[in-house]
Amino acid sequence: MSEPTRVLLPVVDVGGVSSRTFSDRLEVLTALIEAPNFEALLRDDVIVVPPDHATFAWQCGVPGCERALQETREFCTTHYREWTQRGKMLGTDAILADFLREAQPLKPRLWVRTPPQCLICVDVPAWGNSPLCFLHKNRWRTYRRETRQAGGIEQDFDEWVAGQPRLPHFGQCQVVACPEMCTCWGCAAVTSSCTAMTASPAARASRTTGAAC
């Protein structure tokens, strides 16, 4: 009795036409996930990454510090600043082990549940710990940088705010989960991003270009 003919399906689609069925893809994905070299942490339905994970660590490297590490760094913003200042003072004599032993651990920053409104825009959440929305915060930063580079006199913050146009809101986000996700302070950025992507072209253009209400 001859063995049945085995046909190997291509890994990629040929000519834009898929040669695999949904069950084929599911079997391949299941086999990859169950492979011994697959990260066990990623097998759970709900993925919880330990703060000190060897690959995906997200907590500051100072022992006991509960703040998130800065992107591409091993420490939170405060401890990274302290470490760089220590390096400038001591040069090559700066020893990491001494810094880790002497650095004071910090508690995580506290955020309010509902972000305040931008001082300029109506119904637009403030960005992070700033009293301004994302666009106005960036405009304030740009204004200060350009004024200093030009050697001019910087306006008082309140005076600058009074002279800024109020920008229209993108409108209600169309993503189903967004009302639950974007009510916290930390998700104010998500609110701006989601509403920008789901808003009408006219709303996106008016807010991006700074047209006043």
Length of the chain: 213
**Contact between 167 and 133 (Cβ < 8 Å):** yes
Q: Dihedrals φ, ψ of 144, to 5°?
A: -65, -40
- Can you say whether the dihedral through the CA atoms of 30, 36, 42, 43 is positive or negative? positive
State in Å, rounded, how far the first CA of the chain is from the last one: 80
Q: What is the pLDDT of residues 11-39, one digit of tens each?
A: 555 565 555 555 677 888 888 888 888 88
Q: What is the pLDDT of residues 58-72, one digit of tens each?
A: 899 999 998 988 878
pTM: 0.44
Question: Could you tell me which residues come within 8 angstroms of residue 170 by beta carbon, excluding any fewer than 6 positions away?
Answer: 192, 195, 196, 198, 199, 203, 204, 207
Q: Is the pLDDT of residue 213 over 60?
A: no
Helix, coil or strand: residue 66: coil
